[in-house]
Structure 1
Amino acid sequence: MSDLKKVLLVELSVFERMTPLASGYLQAYATTDSVIRSEYRFERYTTVARTPRAEIIRNLIGAAADVYAFSCYVWNMGLVRSVVAAVRQARPHAQIILGGPQVMSQGGRYLSRTDEQTAICNGEGEITFSQYLLALTDSDAHARLHEVDGLSFYRDGELVTTPKQARISSLDDIPSPFLTGVFDSAYSIAILETNRGCPYHCGFCFWGAATNDRVHRFDEERVRAEIKWVAKNEILFLFIADANWGMLSRDVDISRHITNCAQDHGAPNVVYFSAAKNKPKAVTEITGIFQDANLIASQPVSLQTLEPTSLDLISRSNIKLSAFAAIQEDLREKRISSYIELIWPLPGETLDSFKRGVGTLCENEAQTVIAYPHLLLNNTPIYHHSDAMGILTRPAGGDIAEARIVIGTREVSVAEFTEGMYYFYAFHALHNPSSLRTVIRHLVKQSGMRYQDVFSAFAEFLREQGPDDPILAYIERSVEDADYYDVNNYGLFIHSVLHEHRELFTEHVRRFAQSQDWWDDDKVRALFEIDFLNRPYMYSNTPMDVPAEGFQELRLLDLGPRSYTVQVPAEHLPELSDAIRIDTIPADGTFTVDHKRLQYPFMPTQSRDHSGSYCHGMIEKVGNVMPLWQPAGQSVR
């Protein structure tokens, strides 16, 4: 065994204790070759990217591998580059190969003329990596590398890129790392791939461009066996890595299989997936299956933008708004949460169209809307046309990532981008937790006001707060330092406004409402009091709100440990039932508003990253923590 060359597969991931699927595939496929088995032994090094750099370098050098294989992504590439440089200096004769979407077709950027022992894999890795290892066994390995498709490397000062490697059409040629003993049970998160490829060519994404429209499938029985392995090994979180879960008809049955395995073995507890773009009914059925099994409780809808000019520029089509509205109503009836994913700013989008699009989503019953930053990813269509599109970027993610955030386009100046970010934070605080849901809904229906006008006014209100205001300071810091690159940033903002600074935020909402022309309406004041009672809690131990000045329109009869008993005058009941799902309206208008739902308690010993991740997940499925309004005295479900 000691005479075998060591191959070290390196994954520097976002999450702890996650199955290194790319490494597992590479090892499982390579070891089907008898020559590789006789020449190499494999080890894996997996840690989170935030692990101290010095520790990672010390461990990799100490591994004394002959071949180092790194998985490279936008979130770890800054770290990978510095680690590779340190490994190269300490082990000048080691072979290093880089793979992953960040380095594909980027040999001139990531390779050095003075280093002929580092290569890049361009495309799917299994075949190219195996052929690469076989070439290294030859006495004239340098010459043999020219015969391996899908590689880039330097020879005699010239960059060599060999022809593309054909995609693997028969995915079952890759043995399962779950079922062949490559993986053990020491994981909390499992990554599952049931197919590869994406039929779309969205301009901001490399997935479809890399896979040429073709979606190849793993055998269904193999997939079912892998799911059973995950369940039997009590892995709590399952990430389905397919680009469009719900696109294939079998996805519904596989989803049922996941829930059956979870029922039999107690795991997984949570399932995450990227929903099929134009199969909303199938995705709704899948989400319902998972929700019924308490595995997931929110349906993702990836719209990215509603602006037709932008959709045309990024080669994307969305479901019709009429269909979207019908789906949202169906989800509401079934008590299934959903969240809409947007990207700000995309080419062709303007500040006005972004605000207008958010307003349109609200008009069509969107529960939660998240506007993610636009990452300029290598090799995407927008990347290749960035100059023509006027793309301006800034770095984000510190020295661990290699992220470039788009902060300007031909249609959006840097100042307009910044205004759009303030608009989203204001919207995120006001709409996603339903802070003024019934009020705004009434204003839009009765006075013709637009949703975006209220959110814009609230953004301006927040920007007028003093420099010592912690909520404004959070937004300013996030925008100035591009902290929104980290998805936990949005969750921490919710943690701030609904827990840490909840009392202050409640006062902000009250003062904002009182400063508006529409506040003089008695109806608005009553609906404001309803919204006060209805605003959810992310944690089960956040102190309950108590109206400092009492209620003027409603009667607060009792304040329980996690509930209110309140009487709503008859003239306000229609707006209440229109805005909030209520099964039974009591004749006397007396409700118990119960906030004891599916929240976990806040634990001060947990990290802020943990709080951010938790709150982001909770706001995506906010319907599961919204209070239940039921006739007073009736048992709460």
Structure 2
Amino acid sequence: MKSRVLLVQQGVWGNSAASMPLAVGYLKACADRDERIRRRMDVTIRNYPGDAGINAMGRDLIRDGCPDILCFSVLGWNYRTFGVLAETFKQMNPDGWVVFGGNHVAHQAERVFRMYPQVDVVVNGEGELVFPELLNGYLDGATRTALHGIRGVSFRGSDGEVVTTEERERITDLESLPSPILSGAVPLVDRTGRFLYDYALMETNRGCPYKCAFCYWGGATGQKMRAFSRERLREELELLGRHGAETLMLCDSNFGLLREDEEFLDDLLRVRSKYGFPKRLETSWAKNKSAGFYRIMDKMKQSGMHSAFILALQTMDDSVLDLMRRRNMKLNEWEDLVGWLTDHGITPYLELIWGAPGETVESFLDGYDRASRHTPFIAVHPLMILPNTDYHDKREQHGLVTVRGENDDFDYVLTHNTMTLQDNERMLRFICWNRVLARSLWLHNIWVALRELAGVPQSAVILKFSEWVETCEDPDARELTAVAQPAGSASENVDPNVWRLLTKRLLQRWWDEAMRPDLPKDLLPLLDEVFLYDLMCQPVRLLPDGSGPEEDLPVTEKYGDRWYLRSDVTFKYPVPELISALRRGETVRTDPEALVTSFYYRTEFGGDLQHYFRMDSYRGRTEQQLATQFASVSE
């Protein structure tokens, strides 16, 4: 009988769909090409969604009999879960092997073995070459305490002491690795031929030339980037396009940095022209922008290839950038880039980190407001301290006080030399409401009017909402505060009940009670109309029981889709025109001028509202905005 080997992967947090198992797919592809392993071992991938329970996974792993070797692809969100599953496995097979690999456990063997003594081996670094050697060692009769001949691993010797073998060099020739996509190691379609995953994952290169203090990208920080061949990537794109992969997500650290990246985009656009897929490209864009980067953006714009352009600024404060080891990046000249993107009709999406050493509430909010002048799409992440990073190694220097996550294994910062606990708790609430109100586009236009006409920055509006909702006695506000409790969690999912409770009525009450009293009286008529316009732009929601929409609006067919139609809405000011002019930095007249327009809302509002581009597709649009949108798509 063949020895049974299971490769286990679990997607991120509460996601109900399984992610494409690319990481363990590489391991399986490398094992499958070894004739001896293929003949004597059955290597299988078990891929679980983020919301899979430990009990269900435990049963599934042993349902067909207990495996001989259990290998886990470990990340911060599944570390504890996999530790528990290792314990279950050892109850059934005490002599079996448990292998942990992945960035979260690399070079952390002392802690891993202390917390989970059932783990036998920790892989330090890339696992593709280590994995077949471990399997061949098992076939040769090696014991778990005598793996000294395999480089790049840690294990406990016969005396119980941790042994770490010689570090293995990075894989320089990526072409030596079989493709998980082309080899069939990763299944791509279900029985009906439908693509299995929300996102298709690909690597075009490995490595990252930077050494940011908070990051340990692929264990390859400060490393020369290594690229896969154009021919191989073209074949992978062809297969994914043929199978209808709608969104392609690249596992690259700096897409747009290498000359080959423009060639990759050319091949991607040819595949999309042939099959209609992929329709979207998501990636981590290059920190320093080259001429090739701008050509890539132009080509994407001209071809209608959708992408969320994410600019990871992290902080605006120079002293904090120094501590982050990011001061030398051209990224810090971001305003010219954002202006270029906006002029080309590409909406930038900015990222900031709250809680970095050296940052204060004042410096962070100043930077946030500087960023918000260019886009409301600002993601704010609480700082996590990851293993093997500069922040991790300099905890005492920065005065870091941290706590482990309740449902994950990330270190969340409570306080440090420039941040008190009270500051942190206030800003965690800010992060929560920034995500709900600004980043998700629940409010979209009032930020511009308040900032440009009344001098009220975006951060002040969000803080006003945070303070108001926590003290308001309205029953919906009390319930909203309860379900939207901000935790210092890496998971950004918002309780779906937030969208149910954050009604137009409640928003209107906040506006009347918390905002209007402090605004210039001569501007109130106009600002009231802008706020009304934001409420009119909110999606038409389905009732909680799914019986239908919350409003009885007629449905019409337009541009090949179904829309709810709200006809003949009257405004005292031409709000869309005024907001567009303010966004362009123009001076506008504030005299009344009536506007009558109709709003169109995509039907079936619901699903995943955690991503702003999905949320955006359900927002109400005027007839003119809708015509402009589809005219640009057709061009």
Q: Which residue pairs with 1:174 in the alignment? A: 177
Deviations 1:569-612 (A, max 9, x none): 58x898444225799x9x99565655436x45225xxxxxx434
Structure 1 residues 528 and 290: CA distance shift in structure 2, 3 A:
farther
In structure 2, how many angstroms separate the alpha carbons of the residues matched to 1:212 and 1:42?
34
**Is contact 1:73-1:100 (8 Å) kept?**
yes
1:98 aligned to 2:100? yes
What's the Cα RMSD here? Answer: 3.7
> Displacement of 1:11 after TM fit?
0.9
Q: Which residue pairs with 2:43 in the alignment? A: 42
Q: Of 467, 488, 494, which aligns to 1:489?
A: 494
Q: Which residue pairs with 2:274 in the alignment? A: 264
After alignment, is 203-212 or 337-346 more displaced? Answer: 203-212
TM-score (norm 2): 0.84
**Is contact 2:252-2:284 (8 Å) kept?**
yes
Alignment of 1:368-387 (within 5 A): 368-387=377-396
In structure 2, how many angstroms separate the alpha carbons of the residues matched to 1:276 and 1:475?
38
The letter for the 1-side match of 2:188 is S
Structure 1 residues 264 and 581: CA distance shift in structure 2, 3 A:
farther
1:409 aligned to 2:416? yes
Structure 1 residues 481 and 443: CA distance shift in structure 2, 3 A:
closer
> Displacement of 1:530 after TM fit?
2.7
> Displacement of 1:152 after TM fit?
0.5
Q: Which residue pairs with 1:164 in the alignment? A: 167
**Is contact 2:256-2:262 (8 Å) kept?**
yes
> Displacement of 1:220 after TM fit?
1.3
In structure 2, how many angstroms separate the alpha carbons of the residues matched to 1:628 and 1:319?
41
**Is contact 2:376-2:444 (8 Å) kept?**
no
Structure 1 residues 262 and 319: CA distance shift in structure 2, 3 A:
same
1:314 aligned to 2:316? no
**Is contact 2:208-2:225 (8 Å) kept?**
yes
Q: Which residue pairs with 2:471 in the alignment? A: 464
The letter for the 2-side match of 1:367 is P
**Is contact 1:112-1:154 (8 Å) kept?**
no
In structure 2, how many angstroms separate the alpha carbons of the residues matched to 1:207 and 1:245?
14
**Is contact 1:7-1:69 (8 Å) kept?**
yes
Q: Which residue pairs with 1:419 in the alignment? A: 426
* Larger relative contact order, structure 1 or 2 (CA cutoff 8 Å, min sep 6): 1
> Displacement of 1:426 after TM fit?
4.2
1:394 aligned to 2:403? yes
Structure 1 residues 166 and 60: CA distance shift in structure 2, 3 A:
same
Aligned residue pairs total 600
In structure 1, how many angstroms separate the alpha carbons of the residues matched to 2:356 and 2:163?
34
Q: Which residue pairs with 1:561 in the alignment? A: 565
In structure 1, how many angstroms separate the alpha carbons of the residues matched to 2:625 and 2:86?
64
In structure 2, how many angstroms separate the alpha carbons of the residues matched to 1:272 and 1:94?
39
**Is contact 2:483-2:497 (8 Å) kept?**
no
Structure 1 residues 127 and 350: CA distance shift in structure 2, 3 A:
same
SS at match of 1:331: helix
Q: Which residue pairs with 1:607 in the alignment? A: none
In structure 1, how many angstroms separate the alpha carbons of the residues matched to 2:175 and 2:629?
52
Alignment of 1:451-530 (within 5 A): 451-466=458-473, 468-470=475-477, 473-475=479-481, 477-479=483-485, 481-482=487-488, 484-489=489-494, 493=498, 495-496=499-500, 501-516=503-518, 518-521=519-522, 523-530=523-530
> Displacement of 1:190 after TM fit?
1.8
**Is contact 1:534-1:593 (8 Å) kept?**
no
Structure 2 residues not aligned, in runs of 5+: 190-195, 543-548, 554-563
SS at match of 1:489: coil
Q: Of 311, 336, 342, which aligns to 2:346?
A: 336
The letter for the 1-side match of 2:376 is Q
After alignment, is 402-411 or 587-596 more displaced? Answer: 587-596
1:357 aligned to 2:354? no
**Is contact 2:3-2:68 (8 Å) kept?**
yes
Alignment of 1:441-456 (within 5 A): 441=448, 444-445=451-452, 450-456=457-463
**Is contact 1:193-1:241 (8 Å) kept?**
yes
Q: Which residue pairs with 2:208 in the alignment? A: 198
Structure 1 residues 278 and 250: CA distance shift in structure 2, 3 A:
same
Q: Which residue pairs with 1:552 in the alignment? A: none
In structure 1, how many angstroms separate the alpha carbons of the residues matched to 2:528 and 2:267?
45
Deviations 1:428-456 (A, max 9, x none): 45544677776654554466555444443
In structure 2, how many angstroms separate the alpha carbons of the residues matched to 1:211 and 1:145?
27
SS at match of 1:561: strand
> Displacement of 1:545 after TM fit?
12
Q: Which residue pairs with 1:549 in the alignment? A: none
> Displacement of 1:260 after TM fit?
2.8
SS at match of 1:244: coil
The letter for the 1-side match of 2:209 is P
In structure 2, how many angstroms separate the alpha carbons of the residues matched to 1:293 and 1:600?
27
Q: Which residue pairs with 1:82 in the alignment? A: 84
After alignment, is 383-392 or 438-447 more displaced? Answer: 438-447
**Is contact 1:591-1:632 (8 Å) kept?**
no
Q: Which residue pairs with 1:611 in the alignment? A: 608
SS at match of 2:129: helix
SS at match of 1:245: coil
> Displacement of 1:50 after TM fit?
2.1
Q: Which residue pairs with 2:192 in the alignment? A: none
In structure 2, how many angstroms separate the alpha carbons of the residues matched to 1:617 and 1:435?
12
Structure 1 residues 474 and 320: CA distance shift in structure 2, 3 A:
farther
Q: Which residue pairs with 1:217 in the alignment? A: 227
Deviations 1:334-390 (A, max 9, x none): 332221111111111111111111111123x12311101222212211112123212
**Is contact 1:113-1:159 (8 Å) kept?**
no
> Displacement of 1:306 after TM fit?
0.8
TM-score (norm 1): 0.83
SS at match of 1:508: helix
Structure 1 residues 347 and 544: CA distance shift in structure 2, 3 A:
farther
After alignment, is 560-569 or 325-334 more displaced? Answer: 560-569
**Is contact 1:302-1:341 (8 Å) kept?**
yes
> Displacement of 1:83 after TM fit?
0.5
In structure 1, how many angstroms separate the alpha carbons of the residues matched to 2:332 and 2:109?
46
The letter for the 2-side match of 1:393 is T
Structure 1 residues 25 and 426: CA distance shift in structure 2, 3 A:
closer
In structure 2, how many angstroms separate the alpha carbons of the residues matched to 1:252 and 1:544?
47
In structure 2, how many angstroms separate the alpha carbons of the residues matched to 1:50 and 1:477?
19
Deviations 1:484-523 (A, max 9, x none): 5322228875x357xx52331233223333221x2412x3
After alignment, is 433-442 or 502-511 more displaced? Answer: 433-442
In structure 1, how many angstroms separate the alpha carbons of the residues matched to 2:442 and 2:141?
70
